Amino acid sequence: MDFDILTIFPDFFVSPLQEGIVRRAQADGKIRVRVHNLRDFAVDRHRMTDDRPFGGGEGMVMKPEPLAACVQAARRHEGESRVILLSPKGKQFRQAAAERLAEYDQLLFVCGRYEGVDERFCDRYVDEELSIGDYVLTGGELAALVVLDAVCRLLPGVLGCGDSVTNESFSCGLLKHKQYTRPRIFEELPVPEVLLSGDHAAIARHRFVESVQLTLDRRPDLLATVEFSPGEQKILRQTGLLERIQSLVRQQRSQSPQ
């Protein structure tokens, strides 16, 4: 899979792309990451990529010509690629979006800066806008790295353990259960005995209940979209969690706009 990053700060990506899973995925030929300097596509001798906004106002706006020229040079085939503008105005990036984007052959990340990007470029070239949260960054570079990392790890063969993808937070709609490793006792705090029992069914039940409890405590909004199997509902009923979840979901639906 190809990842192309369009930015005015290409050196920003030198170190992050040479660390961890992303570095290994590149070395193994699973992904290819290319960083494009937008200034190389500027149309004037000063290599300007921004200008004052029409109509007045604060700050600068990124010009459409360098962005369009860079997309045209980097994009392979329109049907297999996706041009994404990282912007606080975009739809919030979630795990489901990462899974959807992992189906493409090429993703092009446009890193916005200043007051934004000329809307005519967005109308003509951008397929979607994404935001990684309800806050404003100095530019889209950090957001591009977040999306790249989330998508990259979903690709076949990138992670050493394939089960990691399906058994993690958000992939099944719940937050992941708590994790423990050696030593068995740390500062007088022991590992839960069930994890040492060797009873795989009991361990699975413990982890499932713990995932539901964590989600209920920390991200109750996620539970409105989770569908529990009859067996899971039985476990939740036995632990008293099912009634709490049903009450919460009813409350959420009554408060949501019709």
Mean pLDDT, the chain, integer: 93
Domain match, 112 and 212 both: no
Please say whether the beta carbons of 148 and 102 come within 8 A. Answer: no
Model pLDDT, residue 43 = 87
Residue of 219, 218, 210 lying closest to 239 (CA atoms): 210
Query: Total structural domains in the chain?
Result: 2
Task: Write the pLDDT tens digit of every residue in 82-133.
Answer: 999 999 999 999 999 999 999 999 999 999 999 999 999 999 999 999 999 9
Structure tokens at 37: 């300097």
Containing domain of residue 226, as a range? Answer: 185-255
For the segment 214-223, the average pLDDT, to the nearest whole number, is 95
133 is in an annotated binding site: yes
Domain match, 9 and 131 both: yes
For the segment 194-214, the average pLDDT, to the nearest whole number, is 96
Q: Where are the alpha helices (DSSP H) in the chain?
A: 20-27, 64-74, 95-101, 119-125, 141-152, 163-166, 200-218, 230-239, 241-255
Model pLDDT, residue 53 = 95
Model pLDDT, residue 172 = 80
Structure tokens at 256: 């949501």
- Note whether residue 85 is domain-resident: yes
126 is in an annotated binding site: no
160 is in an annotated binding site: no
Last-in-domain residue among 152, 171, 202: 152
The DSSP annotation for 129-190 comes to EEESSSS--SBSHHHHHHHHHHHHTTSTTTSS-THHHHTSTTTTSSPPPP---S-SEETTEE
Confidence check: pLDDT of 253 > 90: no
- Note whether residue 171 is domain-resident: no
132 is in an annotated binding site: yes
169 band by pLDDT with thresholds 50, 70 and 90: low
Peptide bond before residue 183 is cis, with ω within 30 degrees of 0: yes
235 is in an annotated binding site: no
- Return the CATH number at 66: 3.40.1280.10
For the segment 170-177, the average pLDDT, to the nearest whole number, is 83
- Note whether residue 22 is domain-resident: yes
- Note whether residue 101 is domain-resident: yes
- Note whether residue 177 is domain-resident: no
- Note whether residue 202 is domain-resident: yes
For the segment 138-165, the average pLDDT, to the nearest whole number, is 89
Last-in-domain residue among 102, 127, 152: 152
- If phi over 0 gives left and psi between -120 and 50 gives alpha, with beta otherwise, what is residue 227? beta
Confidence check: pLDDT of 149 > 70: yes
Residue with tokens 């937070």: 169
For the segment 240-251, the average pLDDT, to the nearest whole number, is 94
Q: How many residues does the chain have?
A: 258
Model pLDDT, residue 204 = 96
